[in-house]
Amino acid sequence: MDARLNYFASPIAGKAIKYFMSAGKALKESPLPAATQELVALRVSQINGCAVCIDMHTKDAAAAGETAVRLALVTAWREATVFTEAERAALELAEQGTRVADGAGGVGDEVWASAAQHYDDEQLTALVILVSFMNTVNRLNVITQQPAGDYVAGQFH
């Protein structure tokens, strides 16, 4: 399968995507726990059907020590017992923040309050930006049908 566009060969994509990647780097350096970042990135990508991001975040999380069980259960995190309460709050916020167009009404007050119990303002800021960032990157990849499977952990870091 070939992508509809090759972002690496496009001058305009090269100019624009460097800013996306610098935002991603800033998020990696944020105080939001790395494991939470990978779980959230993976869940948002699952919802959006972004194969290339699912590939990347699964492999990066595994390389960072995340277990295969937790990675496999992200898609059904509500029923899984392997996530902390803080991670569950982040995953719920990520889902509601991703499904804003589904008539869900955005992130509810109860979900926000739950996340705020586990994360300080800087971590919440990083979480909100991460959800927004992943939704943008997912759309860039899904629209252009970027193929997945060849990513090597840490390739873009």
Domain annotation covers residue 151: no
Question: For residue range 16-69, what is the model confidence (pLDDT) as tens digits?
Answer: 988 988 998 999 999 999 999 999 999 999 999 999 999 999 999 999 999 999
Q: Does a structural domain hold residue 14?
A: yes
Residues 6+ apart with CB under 8 A from 48: 98, 134, 135, 138, 139, 142
In a domain, 120, yes or no: yes
Long-range contacts of 147-153 (CB under 8 A, 24+ apart): 147/1, 147/2, 147/3, 147/51, 147/52, 148/51, 148/52, 148/54, 148/55, 149/51, 149/55, 150/55, 151/52, 151/55, 151/56, 151/59, 152/59, 153/59, 153/60, 153/62, 153/63
Whether residue 134 lies inside any domain: the answer is yes
Q: Which domain holds residue 101?
A: 7-143
What is the tally of structural domains in the chain?
A: 1
CATH number of the domain that 107 lies in? Answer: 1.20.1290.10
Residue 148 maps to a domain:
no
In a domain, 84, yes or no: yes
pTM of the predicted structure, to 2 decimals: 0.93
pLDDT tens digits, 98-154: 999 887 678 999 999 999 999 999 999 999 999 999 999 999 999 999 999 888 887
Residue 102 lies in a domain: yes
pLDDT of residue 157: 67
pLDDT of residue 152: 86
Say if 152 falls within a structural domain.
Answer: no
